């Protein structure tokens, strides 16, 4: 990603300087500043709005971002949350822009979340999935890209089973590309929405202990999550069956803990990963019952947590495998909140990719 530093801007500030995207007659076009009811946002992790932040050109992976960019995305999402949660109306910020959701691998929840995020910002949304499309008739990835280009889309959100597909698309197209999950590689918006959710509950994440549990081997979420948590200074522990630990985990900057019971008392966050059966072509653990006994989060383990600790999961959950119903539905579970926050974070990313550059240009930044 080529990045030139610029002054960080907020959707609120930008809306005020952009008549094109914010007609004076439109009610509630300016995302609210953080509402009084918002749980503590750390000062240490929200200083990016006062410093210089490199602009986003694509969102391909967390490994392309620096800490200031992550904080800027989270701060922008904080301002957009009232619109994501429908406390306020949609805003016209992306009116006239076309966002294409190119989903080449099955997904319902992530696609719907991106769809809603774009619509809340008044973009037009094209949904393009592999099933029933030219891709299923054998069209190459490059030709699909060129077709989208010819249609004049302004941004492509891409999900693919192939690691690296979003970066490849960014070579073919001259518009911002957002990675909505590629193979085992990256799922940057999931990591950002998770860190956003943690920050809303715990404030400054520096020094906080996040325990990631389960199928790390197949998880693009875990790879992105660890990078994002490292950027905001959290301490990450991982716990998994040895067969589901990636060989390169020692280089992730995490502590590998052999037993879940040992990791829980110090945890501020327990992050459970889905057992990705569709990616398992051999037995990685003896049985579901064994997995649940050693690596699953149940009521007994929930009671080992500190009172303020939260339980998270990217969804979709396998109840009775990595998490029991008692834990999923407990007061310490923030799993449905992650889903809502995902809309705000994806709105923030779309805003920063599509609207912020125009605002900067207009303001001569």
Number of residues this chain uses to bind ligand MLT (CB under 6 A): 9
Name the residue number minimizing CB distance to ligand MLT: 274
Confirm or reject binding of residue 223 to ligand MLT (CB under 6 A).
no
b/e for 18-49, b at 16 or more Cβ within 10 A? beebbeeebeebbbbebeeeeeebbeebbebb
Q: Please tell me whether residue 301 binds ligand MLT under the rule CB under 6 A.
A: no
Task: Provide long-range contacts, Cβ within 8 A and 24+ apart, for 331-340.
Answer: 332/302, 332/305, 334/197, 334/201, 334/310, 335/311, 337/197, 338/193, 338/194, 338/197, 338/312, 338/313, 338/314, 339/109, 339/113, 339/315, 340/84, 340/85
Smallest distance, Å, CB 295 to ligand MLT?
Answer: 15
CB of 358 to ligand MLT, least distance (A): 31
Select the residue interacting with ligand MLT from 58, 208, 220, 223 (CB under 6 A).
Answer: 220
Of the two residues 88 and 220, which places its CB atom closer to ligand MLT in the complex? 220
Which CB sits closer to ligand MLT, 30 or 110?
110
- The nearer residue to ligand MLT, 296 or 314, going by C-beta atoms, is 314
Residue 75 sits at the vertex; the CA angle it makes with 64 and 107, to the nearest 5 degrees, is 60
- Select 110 or 292, whichever has its Cβ closest to ligand MLT: 110
Q: Is 341 in the site for ligand MLT (CB under 6 A)?
A: no
Among 55, 61, 188, 314, binds ligand MLT (CB under 6 A): 314
- First vs last Cα of the chain: how many Å apart? 19
Q: Which residues pair with 102 in a beta bridge?
A: 128, 158
187 binds ligand MLT (CB under 6 A): yes
If one asks whether residue 111 binds ligand MLT (CB under 6 A), the answer comes out as no
Task: Tell me how many degrees the CA angle 213-214-219 measures, rounded to the nearest 5.
Answer: 105
CB of 204 to ligand MLT, least distance (A): 26
97 binds ligand MLT (CB under 6 A): no
By CB under 6 A, is residue 214 in contact with ligand MLT? no
For residue 327, what are the contacts with CB-CB under 8 A and spacing of at least 6?
A: 297, 298, 299, 301, 302, 311, 333
Q: Which is nearer to ligand MLT, 82 or 181 (CB)?
A: 181
Q: Where along the sequence are the contacts to ligand MLT (CB under 6 A)?
A: 110, 181, 187, 190, 220-221, 274, 276, 314
């Amino acid at each position: 990603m080529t990045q030139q530093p610029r002054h960080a801007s907020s959707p609120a500030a930008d809306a005020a300087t952009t008549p094109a995207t914010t007609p004076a007659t439109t009610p509630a076009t300016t995302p609210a500043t953080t509402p009084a009811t918002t749980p503590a946002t750390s000062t240490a992790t929200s200083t990016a709005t006062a410093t210089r932040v490199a602009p986003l050109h694509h969102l391909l992976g967390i490994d392309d971002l620096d800490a200031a960019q992550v904080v800027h995305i989270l701060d922008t999402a904080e301002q957009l949350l009232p619109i994501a949660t429908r406390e306020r109306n949609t805003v016209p910020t992306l009116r006239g822009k076309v966002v294409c959701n190119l989903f080449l691998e099955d997904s319902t929840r992530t696609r719907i979340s991106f769809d809603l995020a774009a619509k809340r910002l008044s973009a037009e949304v094209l949904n393009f999935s592999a099933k029933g499309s030219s891709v299923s008739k054998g069209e190459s990835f490059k030709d699909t890209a060129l077709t989208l280009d010819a249609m004049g889309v302004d941004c492509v959100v891409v999900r693919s089973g192939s690691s690296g597909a979003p970066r490849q698309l960014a070579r073919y197209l001259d518009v911002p590309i957002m990675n909505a999950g590629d193979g085992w590689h990256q799922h940057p918006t999931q990591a950002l929405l998770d860190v956003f959710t943690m920050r809303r509950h715990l404030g400054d994440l520096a020094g906080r202990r996040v325990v990631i549990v389960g199928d790390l081997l197949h998880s693009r979420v875990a790879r992105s999550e660890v990078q994002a948590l490292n950027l905001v200074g959290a301490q990450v522990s991982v716990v998994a069956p040895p067969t589901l630990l990636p060989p390169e985990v020692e280089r992730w900057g995490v502590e590998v803990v052999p037993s879940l019971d040992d990791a829980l008392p110090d945890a501020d966050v327990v992050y459970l990963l889905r057992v990705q059966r569709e990616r398992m072509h051999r037995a990685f653990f003896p049985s579901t019952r064994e997995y649940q006994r050693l690596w699953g989060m149940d009521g007994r383990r929930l009671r080992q947590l500190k009172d303020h600790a939260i339980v998270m999961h990217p969804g979709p959950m396998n109840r009775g495998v990595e998490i029991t119903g008692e834990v999923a539905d407990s007061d310490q579970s923030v799993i449905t909140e992650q889903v809502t926050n995902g809309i705000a974070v994806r709105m923030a990313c779309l805003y920063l990719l599509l609207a912020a550059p125009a605002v900067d240009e207009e303001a001569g930044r």
